[in-house]
Amino acid sequence: MCIRDRRLEDPVITSDVIEAHGLSLEEYNQILKLLDRSPSFTELGIFSAMWNEHCSYKSSKKWLRTLPVSGPQVICGPGENAGIVDIGDGQAVVFKMESHNHPSYIEPYQGAATGMGGILRDVFTMGARPIAAMNSLSFGQILHPKTKALVAGVVSGIGGYGNCFGVPTIGGEVRFDSAYDGNCLVNAFAAGLVDTNKIFYSAASGVGMPVVYLGAKTGRDGVGGATMASAEFDEAIEEKRPTVQVGDPFTEKRLMEATLELMSTGAVISIQDMGAAGLTCSAVEMGDKGNLGIQLDLEQVPTREPNMTAYEMMLSESQERMLMVLDPGKETEAKAVFEKWDLDFAIIGKTISRDRFVVFYNGKLKADLPLKALSGAAPEYDRPWIETVKRNLLGDIPNIDPIEGLKKLIESPNYASKQWVYEQYDSQVMADTIKPSGLGAGIVRVHGTNKALAFTSDVTPRYVFANPFEGGKQAVAEAYRNLTSVGAVPLAITDNLNFGNPEKPEIMGQLVGSIKGISEAVQKLNMPVVSGNVSLYNETDGISILPTPTVGAIGLISKSTNAITGLPCEGHSALLIGKTFGHLGQSALLKEFFNRQDGDAPHVDLNAEKMNGDFILENKDLIISCNDLSDGGLALAAFKLCESADIGVSLNVEGIPELFGEDQARYLISCNFDQAETLLSKAAEANVPAKCIGTFGGTNVCFGNYSVDMYSMSNIYRSSFQSSVT
């Protein structure tokens, strides 16, 4: 179906046209009842944009409402462009994570780049200046013919946009699994700082107020992008390339500076980023939140291509654009700001009292729709779901040389050093980065204060696949540990729920189970969900991705000098905090060494997580370095810690379950002998499991009687990822 030919602006709406817009016949019949007439082609496009999964959350709304979203630290929870959490002293952090999965698979560089651009706009739209970015990337198996090109394109797209914009990328993760062969995941995170009395929201207010278009011009790139993002892939995927937007980070930088300057003038009543579904979604959401109608006059929209139709302008997802409701008395002042930054400023409509979304183009009525029905009253489904059958049985695991087990892990692109990735990202721009990517959570100073913020992104998809409830809990628990291990008090999370087709009960069961697990964990660990995104229909030819509910989390360090950022030194004691049971089900060793994925996911004792995390925070002055235990268990955690310090380690442990088991609520600590004695005494008083399991130092990695030169292992660890993906 061609939408660029003006002759086809108003084609006959057939069942094929309806299907091409991602609407079911039942939904189309609902539209007919709402309007009491047939929609125009432009109106059909508007409904398609607003009623798709990406914008309406129609399959997940019911369950998203069950997530804990409030707390004394929460200023703004889900529903706005991003969540906001109070960090004291009249300051707040604004943050969110969103997916750009489908676009990144179709056009890796631009898909990933515009994902970065979109999440940054979500942050500065609320008045915050971005201070940190992260990303969580999932790709297919290395030997798949598309994987290397996807990795190269996505990584360069993230780096190209983020580096040019000028925001440090300080954390993230990269994984590979055959389940992502036909559908990679690109989850982008951004956080920014704002004064609590300078926060801006998107709800329109006041009747007859001018609706103003800001930023770059509108083109045909991205038309139908939101609808595409809510559909499965098939053999026709290449035909969807025109639905991917094209980004310009330098324009985005100017847009941010202009927007923040404009906000300081008092001219902004409300403001909204133009992201998915472009002008349609931003206008509708502003009106819906403010209980107002919106009238647009499209001939006023700045365009960069001739002869654009109303349909194209309403559905374009061209980047670097904003929509604002303006104080009419400050129009001249506001326009001057955007002209100074060489950006478009155009009054394209007004707020109206009626519940209508009215669109004119060159004096002709192109759409006249009930606005609430497009947003707040969009379809909502209670999809059938079945609980995932637990994989309780774990077959016998042969005994192996633990050094060979460790070597197998660090040879894998899943666990080898990701320096090839994060070295392409500028982690030091803005000069406030304390701890960049590489080991645990990233840390950024709160500029001009003694405070710092820690950021992490975590999920273990194979756990979620085996046991969605425990896998959801574990994603939150690991994020919690990554924050506490650097001395940060966890504050809140944003989630990016990536799943397959929700119309399949088993997939919907994965989503429901994960949300239940996340809910229980954030409640217990005092980390409410303040923002997020749901990405469904991540399937190709009926094959689903692994369920991947990514958790992005932030924590506060009241004094940046108290952050745990040290490294082990010669003679340091190695202390293990937490109980070891030797859980090998769904473990990294099982997958990488034996090519097996059996057994249950490790169960998460949230009481133990809270107790052990509190112990770390209460005694951080006694801790030199700290790393949580997750994938690869004690063996991998110990290796990463000593490898980062360029020294060896000797552990008095050699059993496979003890070394590679992935029991939760555990930390590995390095400290001097006196500190170790004090910590062990305090742990006994607090009933926290703790023991000394060895020492750091020398030039070998020793597990009991098994030993290997650390430097040879370091070479494997540092080179394996790059050699795999290039």
Catalytic residues: 54, 100
> What's the token pair of residue 292?
């107002």
Half-sphere exposure of residue 371: CA atoms within 13 angstroms, side-chain side: 27
| 3-class secondary structure per residue, 7-21 | HHCCCCCCHHHHHHC
- φ, ψ for residue 700 (rounded to 5)? -120, 155
Half-sphere exposure of residue 430: CA atoms within 13 angstroms, side-chain side: 28
Residues paired with residue 539 on neighbouring β-strands, in sequence order: 544
Collect all residues with Cβ–Cβ distance below 8 Å to 62 and sequence separation of at least 6.
380, 381, 382
What is the helix (H) or strand (E) element at residue 172, kind and residue range? strand 169-176
> Residues 116, 118, 124, CA angle at the centre, nearest 5°?
100
Helix (H, G, I), strand (E, B) or coil at 25: helix
Distance CA 539, CA 238 (A): 15
Residue type, 149: A
> What's the token pair of residue 391?
């994989």
Collect all residues with Cβ–Cβ distance below 8 Å to 59 and sequence separation of at least 6.
53, 381, 383, 502, 503, 508, 534, 536
Characterize the bridge pairing of strands 706-709 and 293-297. Answer: unpaired
Q: List C-alpha distances in Å: 460 to 428, 547, 559, 565.
A: 28, 9, 31, 25
Distance CA 301, CA 313 (A): 8
Q: List C-alpha distances in Å: 120 to 78, 134, 255.
A: 17, 11, 11
Helix (H, G, I), strand (E, B) or coil at 489: strand
Q: Give the helix ranges, DSSP H, for 21-86.
A: 25-35, 41-51, 53-56, 61-64
Distance of CA 8 to the CA centre of its chain: 38
Residue entry with tokens 């970065």: 116
Q: List C-alpha distances in Å: 531 to 67, 200, 370, 499, 578.
A: 11, 16, 27, 18, 31
Q: Which of 231, 135, 146, 234 is nearest to 175 (CA)?
A: 135
Distance CA 596, CA 179 (A): 14
Residues paired with residue 383 on neighbouring β-strands, in sequence order: none
Helix (H, G, I), strand (E, B) or coil at 366: strand
Distance CA 654, CA 555 (A): 35
